[in-house]
Structure 1
């Protein structure tokens, strides 16, 4: 697999310190997708710079670090540590985390918190900043505008949705943490709607995420106004999914006489 064929690679969530994650079971297959409760396990910012980034620099592709924290200070610390790292293209801000110093309120569900944490990271790093929005809100457009006000350069839409399943014989949750994040084809219609609402709220570049398995799903995101797409869950059962999507997009554009995918972006017709 030549990762240089991809436009970019978004690494899993990084924190300032090493995180061990949740106890198993923490991944469960569901109809049309999967639930995960990994617990943001990662090697920490220092481990990423020493162990992971040198490998990723070997490929001719953008490297984006998804970052998270439990407090404003933790977000700032990881952003500062990664700032200026050779081979790092941008930061993606995971704000689907509870602020433990504000009674556990989720950074990504409160517009004030969203704007504040975005601004804090914006001031801590010179790297382009993408903010990953949660679907667990009534008005995602309000959160998009808050992120923009805080200095976001782009928006990743969407993160996983909360869900759970039960093992009937034992009558126990299938995940050790009771609930987890739902991803995969099952969330595609929700993700598309969220991109639609986000595009109505802002002109910032949008990265569409959620339920993409192949060409058709990606094209829907582009038509709605996404400027790029990310593929996650499909890689679990088809490691070549992203590479194949790039090839299929190129072939489709050629057959349609489209010179650039930008010609398709935002071409939705509702009349």
Structure 2
């Protein structure tokens, strides 16, 4: 069996050419990395577009990024032109034959989440990710993701206005991620993305001030991988019984990392921070996942999901 057949993955009825998902906030509205020689969206199964709100947002004050040991802090603040502008001006520029595209929906109220979802329901995107866990905005965001009742309300409201697959992006900054997952399943989510960034900060010693203009931001990169793996497994133990798949994400920087997420229970694997220092990492990840599955005697990479000897 060739690598293409080994890598083909199904997520919520969508056929992905590989298990790799390019994460929201890391690839803009789908065009940024196409400017890099050698990059191709055909090397990934799904691209999740930048977080989008109902009205345009300027985002947070600078600085918005800070490198940390084995990771990166970001506090972009959901800068975006608004949902209607994305549908009108950005989506027509994308080649929907290359890969599957998903929108990322954010809001300050349950009603705003539902309205943005409704706008994307009438668009070419194949799925909608609900960003109920952004740590970089004061209204909405992580406030929804850390409260199971609020999480379920957002999912239910969005479920009512679209038939497209809903992917709920879970916060690691909560007491019981498995309980939150259970409530979101009851409310109608079709899949999960686990996890979003962890809350963190960096301090400038000369000024004695936080480096980020928002004071705190979301920590991503290899530093968070052990936490992300555990959270994926905890969600899997709830979601698997309901046939709800997981996009496992958080610190993937090698094929070994990607395989670990699959074994922990992920159906697909998100790549984000690694793209900043190696935009051409995806072919190597695909080749490594396929080689592992073949060497271990698995018929497809998809058979690795949840195959952890627990």
TM-score norm. by structure 2 comes to 0.82
1:68 aligned onto 2:106: yes
SS in 1 for 2:128: strand
Question: What is the CA–CA distance in structure 2 between the aligned matches of 1:143 and 1:238, rounded to whole Å?
Answer: 34
Which residue of 2 is the match for residue 84 of structure 1? 122
Give SS of 1:106's match.
helix
1:229 corresponds in structure 2 to 269
In the other structure, the counterpart of 2:75 is 37
1:259 aligned onto 2:299 = yes
Residue 64 of structure 1 and its aligned partner are, at CA, apart by 0.7
Q: 1:223–1:266: 8 Å Cα contact kept in structure 2?
A: yes
Q: Does 1:140 align with 2:180?
A: no
Partners of 2:211 and 2:115 lie apart in 1 by: 35
Instruction: Decide whether aligned partners of structure 1 residues 188 and 257 sit closer, same or farther in structure 2, where only a CA change above 3 A counts.
Output: same
Write the distance in 2 (CA, Å) between the matches of 1:261 and 1:89: 22
Task: Note if 1:160 corresponds to 2:160.
Answer: no
Q: How many residues align?
A: 267
Q: Measure how far apart 1:253 and its partner are.
A: 2.9
1:261 is displaced (CA, Å) by 1.2
Consecutive unaligned residues of structure 2, counting only runs of 5 or more, are 1-38
Matches within 5 A, 1:75-224: 75-86=113-124, 88-96=125-133, 100=139, 106-203=143-240, 204-224=244-264
- What secondary structure does 2:145 align onto? coil
CA deviation profile, 1:14-47 (whole Å, cap 9, x unmatched): 1111111111111000001000000011121122
Highest relative contact order (Cα 8 Å, sep 6+), 1 or 2?
2
Q: Does structure 2 retain, via aligned residues, the 8 Å contact 1:3–1:59? A: no
Aligned-partner Cα distance in 1 for 2:239–2:263: 16
Structure 1, unaligned stretches of length 5 or more?
A: none
Query: What residue is the counterpart of 1:27 in the other structure?
Result: 65
**Structure-2 separation of matches of 1:245 and 1:118:** 32
Deviation at residue 100 of structure 1 after TM alignment:
4.9
Contact kept? 2:133, 2:142, Cα under 8 Å: no
RMSD over aligned CA atoms reads 1.7
Aligned to 2:282: 242
Q: Distance in 1 between matches of 2:206 and 2:151?
A: 42
Matched position secondary structure for 2:169: strand
Contact 2:262 2:305 in 1 (8 A): yes
Range moving further from structure 2, 4-13 or 155-164: 4-13
Counterpart Cα distance in 1 of 2:267 and 2:227: 18
